[in-house]
Every structure is written in C-alpha cells, then in structure tokens.
Amino acid sequence: MVYINKLAEHVGQEVTLKGWLYNKRSSGKLQFLMLRDGTGLVQCVVFKGNVSDEIFESAKKLTQESSVEITGTVKKDERQVGGHEIDVKELTVISIAEEYPITPKEHGIEFLIDHRHLWLRSRKQWAIMRIRHRIVKAIRDFFDDRGFVLFDPPIITPNACEGTSTLFETPYFDLGTAYLTQSGQLYAEAGAMALSKVYTFGPTFRAEKSKTRRHLTEFWMVEPEMAFYNLDDNMDLAEEFVEYIVQTILAERKEELEILERDTTNLEKVKRPFPRVSYTDAVEILKKKNHAFEWGNDFGGADETVISEEFDRPVMIHRYPSEVKAFYMKRDPQNDKVALAVDMIAPEGYGEIIGGSQREDDLNKLLERIKEHNLPQTFFEWYLDLRRYGSVPHSGFGLGLERTVSWICGLDHLREAIPFPRMIYRNTP
Ligand code: 4AD
Ligand code: MG
C-alpha cells in the first residue's frame, strides 16, 4: 500500500491506495474519483475501456465517504491536486457510506460542530490539524534543543493556581473537593529548582463563563519555567520561541496555509526583536487613540486589539498593576504598584497568546500575597518550601496552544483549533 503524499516516488508504477471517496464526477465512459487517504487527495480516473464492467459499475455506486481500495498507474500531472493522477485498473469497495451529512454546500457552524467527528475529514480542518501537530512538534523541539526537561504536572490538584473563580471541581474520595488544574506552573517551579529549566505541556481547565471566540474550558498550554531568569531573560526567551514557531510553520506547512487561504504577509514579519512596552505606556497609547481606559484595570480583548494595531509584530506588554495579576508574581522593586508580569499580544486581533512573569522569591512577601488573596496557606506549604530552601530569582510563562493555532491559521474562533472543543455551552461530541 502506498500513501498519496508519497506518490512522487512512484511515477509510472502501479500502486494500491486505500482511502475514502471525497467526491466524484462522471461523463459517459469516464468517472473521476477524488480519493482522500488522510495524507492527501488524488484524482483516480476510471475509464470504461480499461476496467471490467463490474468495476465500472461498482465505481458508479460509490457514495461520498465510501471506503475503497484502488490499484492503478501513477501519472505525473501538474494541473491536478497534489500533482498526480491515477489510471485505475482495479477497485474494491470496502464499505458503502450512508448518505453523508456534510456536503459541498454551505453548512451552519452549529451543524458542523455537531458533526465535528466527521467535519475533521474536510480539507480545511485537515490543514488545521496538520498545522496544530507541527506547532506542537516545534514547541517540543524548541525546548528540547535548549536544554529544557519536559516535566509533567498533575491534573488533579488541591488548590487554585490562577485565581479561584474559574475552577472545575471534582469529588475526591475522603479528601473532599479536588480541582482540575488551571496551570501547571506552581509544580513547574518545583521542577525548575530540581532541573534548572523545565517545561510542562498538557491540557488545562478553566470554568470560563466567557462565550468569546478566544475562550475554551479545556485548552492546551506549554509552560517553561527557568531558575535564575529575570523578567528580561523571560521576554528574550518568549520572543525567540514565538519567532521559531511561526517561521517553522511558514517553512514547513506552506500547502496547508494555502488551503486555509491564509495571507502570510503579517506572519512573515514575526522576527525578533518584538516591541516591548510597559502597561503604563500601553495605557497612553489607548488614550492617544481616544479609547476610554483607566490605569489599574486589566486589558480586555478590545483594548488589546487597539494596542496591537500600533505594531507590525507581536507586542510584549510588561509591568501590569499588581492588583489585576496573580498572587505569585514578583512586584517591581522600583515600583511596588506594578508586578514583573508580561503578556504577549498577537497581531491581527488575536489577543493574548502568552502570560508570564518573574515569580515572588521572598518567603515573607509570598506569605503576605497568599493571605491577601485569601488562599489556604496549608495547601501552599510545599510551594513556600521552594522559598525556604535555596530560593532563587526565577521566571516563566505560559503559551496557549489553541490561541497560537488560531492566529497562525487565521481562524475566526478557537473551536476549530482543537479536535473536540469544550466550551461553556458544549461538551459534545
Ligand atoms: O495568562 P494565563 O492565565 O497564565 C498562566 O496560566 C500562567 N500560570 C502561565 C505561566 O506563567 N506559567 O494563561 C496563559 C495563556 C494565555 O496567554 C492564553 O494564551 C491561554 O493560556 N489561555 C487560554 N486559551 C484558551 N482558552 C482559555 N480559556 C484560556 N485562558 C488562558
Ligand atoms: Mg493571562
């Protein structure tokens, strides 16, 4: 058996392909079967003069998404999808599909998500999943090549990491309530003290009440954490990382970006250095553009878009008011009102793709923060130990995988960036 994406190695030869009928047209003695095998598409030509009557008839009976095995000769043909065509000799039906719900006509988005398990076979979804996979590989390669150790945090946790408002609860035997993790960061900090540079990469959960195109309740996050890194080191790493991901996809997933009709002009500009502006300067940008905003609030999606329009590549906004940020962030020694935090905002209205910070490394200050945020100190004793036994300056960030896929693919909504999206109003299929 040969895969469609390897046909170039078999020009002039007879091959056997296995796949599904993507679509079909016919004219008299000819039937043109578009075959899909998961690696690509190829047109298979059934000519009445070349095959038995039986085979010609079974080709006629093929419905959309029926599974078949086809044997034929590979011809090079630049005008065809994928650059090849198959001259069919043999055809075996594996299974005739019932009337397929997704047809080439336009379907509403709710209908498509209801049929997500089938929608994934469509060309655009195929391209998105292949880009997602390549982004995941780029993420792993980036950290593996730079001496980071993959460090898997638990998913079931006894307490909040990013604030208590968005926790999914689950009963946990005799121990009461446990929570699904919102972020592996606190555990990654323990990892960094053991292994210097680590990264976590897995699903995280937030009971987000927001129905925006930027929020899922289950999403994947990669979180590097580095001992002895300050905020500037953290930003240097974040921009190198995002440049690497985007440039890798431009080089390695050209065909998929074309299928998605992604205009890559802006992606090509994603090169270091990225602009860095303080939160305070970002507020000034908003004011200059007559966009109402008060120092001290957190930026919403609309504010982020207005700020990002000032720049031609991702922008890093640093030193947010400590009030709006998480308890673990270190305050700026120069100005106690702001935290050593950084968010990276993607261009073209895609919003925050990275959130990170330098961490509070002083035991007493961290204790104060835990009290201020009304967090149960007993559950944080192990985390406080990291400050009791050889505390060091350290930093890290988290990049949302679906936000990144959505931006690079130019999608309207995060729901297409993950195989089976989970949102406030949907947990099926
Ligand atoms: O800014 P966040 O909340 O940061 C953290 O979780 C830190 N613990 C990361 C760290 O410093 N190690 O989330 C990080 C990123 C966001 O920038 C965004 O890309 C993504 O995670 N994200 C979401 N993606 C999809 N749906 C949601 N509901 C998301 N919430 C955050
Ligand atoms: Mg954030």
Whose structure tokens read 């009963």?
171
Indicate if ligand 1 lies below 6 Å from the C-beta of 344: no
Of all protein residues, the one whose alpha carbon is nearest to atom 24 of ligand 1 is 400
Whether the per-residue pLDDT at 148 is higher than 90: the answer is yes
Closest ligand 1 atom to residue 225 Cα is: 12
Q: Return d(Cα 242, Cα 342) in angstroms, integer.
A: 14
pLDDT at 161 over 90: no
Residues 6+ apart with CB under 8 A from 326: 161, 162, 163, 357
**Domain assignment present for 425:** no
Is residue 80 located within the same domain as residue 132? no
Is the C-beta atom of 397 inside 6 A of ligand 1? yes
**Res 342: pLDDT:** 98
Q: Closest Cα partner for 61 from 121, 15, 21?
A: 21
Q: Strands of 156-157's sheet, edge to edge?
A: 156-157, 177-180, 169-171
Query: Distance of CA 205 to CAs 150, 168, 172, Å?
Result: 20, 7, 17
Helices and strands in the chain: count of H runs, count of E runs = 13, 18
Tell me the three state secondary structure of residue 267.
Answer: helix
In a domain, 426, yes or no: no
Provide DSSP, 77-95.
-TTSGGGEEEEEEEEEEEE
Q: How many domains are contained in the chain?
A: 2
Residue 407 lies inside a defined structural domain of this protein = yes
pLDDT confidence bin for 209, thresholds 50/70/90: confident
Ligand closest to Cα of 215 equals 1
**Rounded distance between C-alpha atoms, residue 307 and residue 299, angstroms:** 10
- Pocket lining: 395 vs ligand 1, CB cutoff 6 Å: no
Ligand 1 contact via 215 beta carbon (within 6 Å): yes
Q: What is the mean pLDDT of residues 86-95?
A: 98
Residues 309 and 223 grouped into a single domain: yes
Q: Is residue 355 within 6 Å of ligand 1 at its C-beta? A: yes
> Which pLDDT value is given to residue 211?
85
Tokens of residue 326, six digits: 């998480």
Nearest CA to ligand 1 atom 30: 215
Distance 314 CA to ligand 2 centre (A): 15
The SS3 assignment for 366 reads helix
For a ligand 1 pocket test, name from 298, 403, 406, 414 the mutation site with the most ligand atoms within 8 angstroms of its C-beta: 403
Torsion sign over Cα 338, 339, 344, 348? negative
CA–CA distance, 29 with 219 (Å, rounded to integer) = 51
Nearest CA to ligand 1 atom 9: 398
Q: Establish whether residue 396 lines the binding site of ligand 1, counting it when its CB lies within 6 angstroms of any ligand atom.
A: yes
Three-state SS at 33: strand
CB of 37 shorter than 6 A to ligand 1: no
Q: Atom of ligand 1 at shortest distance to CA of 401?
A: 19
Query: Tens digit of pLDDT for each residue in 16-55?
Result: 999 999 999 999 999 999 999 999 999 999 999 999 999 9
Residue with tokens 């590549």: 313
Q: Is residue 355 part of a domain?
A: yes
Residue 422 lies in a domain: no
Q: Is the pLDDT of residue 105 over 90?
A: no
Of 64, 95, 126, the one marking the end of a domain is 95
Q: In whole angstroms, give the CA distance from residue 328 to residue 314.
A: 25
Question: Measured in angstroms, how far is the CA atom of residue 224 from the centroid of ligand 1?
Answer: 13
Same domain, yes or no, for 64 and 160?
no
Instruction: Please work out whether the CB of residue 199 comes within 6 Å of at least one atom of ligand 1.
Output: no
At residue 139's C-alpha, the angle toward residues 133 and 144, to 5°, is 125
Does the beta carbon of 221 sit less than 6 angstroms from any atom of ligand 1? Answer: yes
* Ligand nearest to C-alpha 344: 1
Is ligand 1 within 6 A of the CB of residue 340? no
Nearest to 355 by CA among 309, 400, 312: 400
Q: Is there a domain that residue 428 lies in?
A: no
Report how far residue 11's alpha carbon sits from residue 46's, in angstroms, rounded to the nearest whole number: 18
Residues in the chain: 429
* Same domain membership, residue 207 and residue 136: yes
The label of the residue with tokens 């994947």 reads: 220
Residues 84 and 180 in one domain: no
Q: Name residue, tokens 């993507």.
A: 22
pLDDT of residue 181: 97
Best mean pLDDT range from 164-178, 202-216, 235-249: 235-249
Distance CA 21, CA 397 (A): 45
Residue 125 lies in a domain: yes
For position 89, what pLDDT does the model report? 98
**Residue 398 Cα, ligand 2 centroid: separation in angstroms?**
8
Q: Give residue-wise pLDDT tens across range 59-82.
A: 999 999 999 999 999 999 999 999
**pLDDT category, 233, cuts 50, 70, 90?**
very high
Same domain, 74 and 153: no
**Cβ of residue 354 lying under 6 Å from some atom of ligand 1:** yes
Whole-number pLDDT of residue 104? 81
Average pLDDT over the chain, rounded to an integer: 97
Query: What is the predicted pLDDT for the residue at 9?
Result: 98
269, pLDDT greater than 90: yes
Percent of the chain beyond pLDDT 90? 96
394-400 sheet: strands from edge to edge:
149-150, 197-205, 218-227, 394-400, 351-358, 341-346, 315-318, 276-278
Q: Can you state the angle between helices 401-409 and 231-252, rounded to 10 degrees?
A: 50
CATH label of the domain that carries residue 46 = 2.40.50.140
What number is the average pLDDT over the span 193-207? 98
Q: Is the pLDDT of residue 150 over 90?
A: yes
Ligand 1 atom 6: the closest Cα is on which residue? Answer: 183
Q: Are residues 71 and 147 in the same domain?
A: no
**Whether the CB of 184 sits within 6 Å of ligand 1:** no
Same domain, 50 and 163: no
pLDDT band at residue 192, thresholds of 50, 70 and 90? very high
pTM metric for this prediction: 0.97
The residue ranges of DSSP E strands in 207-363, in sequence order, are 218-227, 276-278, 315-318, 331-332, 335-339, 341-346, 351-358
Mean pLDDT, to the nearest integer, of 254-269? 98
- How far apart CA 208 and CA 219 sit, in angstroms, is 11
* pLDDT at residue 314 tops 90: yes
Which structural domain, as residue segments, surrounds residue 43?
4-95
d(CA 107, CA 126): 17
CATH number of the domain where residue 179 is located: 3.30.930.10
Could you tell me if 182 and 46 lie in one domain? no
| Per-residue pLDDT, 372 | 94
Does 15 reside within a domain? yes
Query: Per-residue pLDDT tens for 339-391?
Result: 999 999 999 999 999 999 999 999 999 999 999 999 999 999 999 999 999 99
Give the model confidence (pLDDT) of 270-294 as tens digits. Answer: 999 999 999 999 999 999 999 999 9
Is the Cβ atom of 14 under 6 angstroms away from ligand 1?
no
- pLDDT band at residue 165 under the 50/70/90 scheme: confident
How far is residue 124 CA from its own chain's centroid? 15
